[in-house]
Structure 1
């Protein structure tokens, strides 16, 4: 079939042709956003889940809703290096300059001066261009939680004056340092207490609630952490069928059953299979033979472009740890069982386990348990055993 007309869109955070199974989260976010604009901010949301379930897609949808409601949006992807102060400085500079350009005011000017103070504490000594004086004594203490609180309060007050709000969306929240995450939570806690229209949303891996709770004990009272999982069979079927039928292409029932089994309902895998099926099938009817015909192509593509790129970031010892997990079969697995499979004591591999959690490869669904953050990663490890 014509590749130019291929409706499937595999990618990192790429909007699929049909966003299915997420309506409840989207509607809930719209409500909390409008309440914040009405001076009643409350619990915000931080969707969590494994890789490939569509967390970033959902976060992008949140920002789209906010922009449609007239809010200013700062979208940040947290790096593993930890650089929240710099990222926020650049994002809020753009927002506050826009506020000031529309109609200069005391609140907008104050917020810009507070931002000038805030950016003076950038860890690498860099700065952003702001042709005004810093507001001495505000956001310049060097204590990130205090300084970020000063900045978001000032920004929120400027937003009120503009009869709008600010949405700060952070992807990969688990990569924030403990100090950065704690500071963000503290700052939003204060803006919420002051009924300012500043909303923080994020997305992260399953360990995020624990990290947030460790940073600030009251995090659970500020955020909801909805678990985003794979699509149910009905939604997975629709994600495949709806975009194809819009172009006159159909699937046989046995083809759909095979695809649901192959993808386990994970949205990213659904898009990958749909994309390659479209490009390698004659159409307009896709059957089980077509699915069988692209299995090697899809598997090889996922191995090289989804799984291996993550494995290549690891040390040999970390790879050994993941290989031992894979050998044990579908998880989660007890830490002691993994250590036993490696022939070592639990204590000796604890640093390896911690490093893999920090790198976002594994998480602990329950105390002492360990599981992959990447769906079907164990199968990949076994499939490429001896070659990784």
Structure 2
């Protein structure tokens, strides 16, 4: 039997075969391009936790814009992004340095320094907008230097005031996206369409998994899509992981049907890889006290935990753990659920923290 290509794509930023639950967002953006200058959905701010599909959504917006003849520039927002936008638009500018640095789920461009006059970026953007329209997408906004955000924001605001054919979308962790629109010179972005990406609907995930398997040329045994959807926990990156490894298990058996054992094996491998690709890199960024807070939170009963419970387990007063809690909220590792209460933002985080408690506490 010829080997079928695995249709699932669990790689950071890689477009999956199907965007689950994002149809309305894409339709609104497509209509905004068709409706011309001034349509509100041409400005979009996208927020969500790691792995929830922010980069994938930016990619999909770019695909729509290209299909409409737009010039599209996609950049990560670490240092030097204004220069990278200019270089992409003009092909000019002498790169004096280029570094590659690791990001949470892969590799990201570090910085590029180009020599240019302060007004050259705006001129290049205006030229592109006149030619066929321009979309700029900016990812990982939490890494953006504030001076570069001001520069790009000022140029985009000026282009909008001039009636230029432009669109702009940026994405990042929730607190970072909120922070950008609060910058004095960028308050016009408060009018941008706010898209908060949350966990996917289990029924939609199940349907998508079954359809992706079918379109890939295989089939799923009864109950397999449900099993995989439950394990994915509504988390887009995990959807791709469980689908990928379940497919691989069946392929290695040279079977065109994904069976229950393939699904279970795939879920186990997906869990292991999810830990290594998402959870562990996120934990490595934390201070010892922040790590201790998360471990204490994981040891509490229930999905929603009060700050007081965590403080008690840490042997501290509630007022003394507030700063750790705030930083974890800012990093989108936990999310607020009512006054003084929080839950884990990333699936399987609690399980990982409990399983590796002793190892983690030795580092705290």
Question: What is residue 274 of structure 1 aligned with on the other side?
Answer: 243
2:213 equivalent among 224, 227, 244: 244
Q: Which has the higher strand share?
A: 2
Task: Say whether residues 1:164 and 2:136 are aligned partners.
Answer: no
Question: What is residue 19 of structure 1 aligned with on the other side?
Answer: 19
Question: What is residue 260 of structure 1 aligned with on the other side?
Answer: 229
SS at match of 1:46: strand
- Normalising to structure 1: TM-score of the pair? 0.75
SS at match of 1:387: helix
> Structure 1 residues 201, 332: CA separation in 2 closer, same or farther (over 3 Å shift)?
farther
Task: Say whether residues 1:42 and 2:28 are aligned partners.
Answer: no
Question: What is residue 157 of structure 2 aligned with on the other side?
Answer: 189
Aligned length: 338
Question: What pairs up with 1:204-219 in 2 under 5 angstroms?
Answer: 204-216=172-184, 218-219=187-188
Q: Give the superposition deviation at 1:196.
A: 2.1
Question: What is residue 6 of structure 1 aligned with on the other side?
Answer: 6
Q: Distance in 1 between matches of 2:146 and 2:188?
A: 13
SS at match of 1:207: helix
> Structure 1 residues 174, 343: CA separation in 2 closer, same or farther (over 3 Å shift)?
same
Question: What is residue 114 of structure 2 aligned with on the other side?
Answer: 128
Q: Distance in 1 between matches of 2:308 and 2:180?
A: 26
Q: Does the Cα contact within 8 Å between 2:247 and 2:262 map onto a contact in 1? A: no
SS at match of 1:57: helix
Which shows bigger deviation, 220-229 or 263-272? 220-229
Per-residue CA distance 1:115-171 (angstroms, 9 max, x = gap): xxxxxxxxxx985256xxx4xxxx4xxxxxxxxxx66653443235x3322211011
Which structure has the bigger radius of gyration? 1
Task: Say whether residues 1:89 and 2:83 are aligned partners.
Answer: yes
Question: What is residue 69 of structure 2 aligned with on the other side?
Answer: 70
> Structure 1 residues 220, 159: CA separation in 2 closer, same or farther (over 3 Å shift)?
closer
Task: Say whether residues 1:225 and 2:194 are aligned partners.
Answer: yes
> Structure 1 residues 247, 176: CA separation in 2 closer, same or farther (over 3 Å shift)?
closer
Per-residue CA distance 1:237-282 (angstroms, 9 max, x = gap): 2332222213442223322222221111222111111111111223
Q: Does the Cα contact within 8 Å between 2:48 and 2:173 map onto a contact in 1? A: yes
Question: What pairs up with 1:285-364 in 2 under 5 angstroms?
Answer: 285-329=257-301, 331-364=303-336
Q: Give the superposition deviation at 1:179.
A: 5.2
Per-residue CA distance 1:332-370 (angstroms, 9 max, x = gap): 544444333322234433443344345453454666444
Q: Distance in 2 between matches of 1:75 and 1:297?
A: 32
Q: Give the superposition deviation at 1:23.
A: 1.2
Question: What is residue 347 of structure 2 aligned with on the other side?
Answer: 375
Q: Give the superposition deviation at 1:59.
A: 0.4
Question: What is residue 106 of structure 1 aligned with on the other side?
Answer: none
- Normalising to structure 2: TM-score of the pair? 0.80
* Structure 2, unaligned runs of 5 or more: 94-110
Q: Give the superposition deviation at 1:30.
A: 1.4
Q: Distance in 1 between matches of 2:175 and 2:326?
A: 12
Q: Does the Cα contact within 8 Å between 1:171 and 1:203 map onto a contact in 2? A: yes
* Structure 1, unaligned runs of 5 or more: 99-111, 113-124, 140-149
Q: Distance in 2 between matches of 1:169 and 1:199?
A: 9
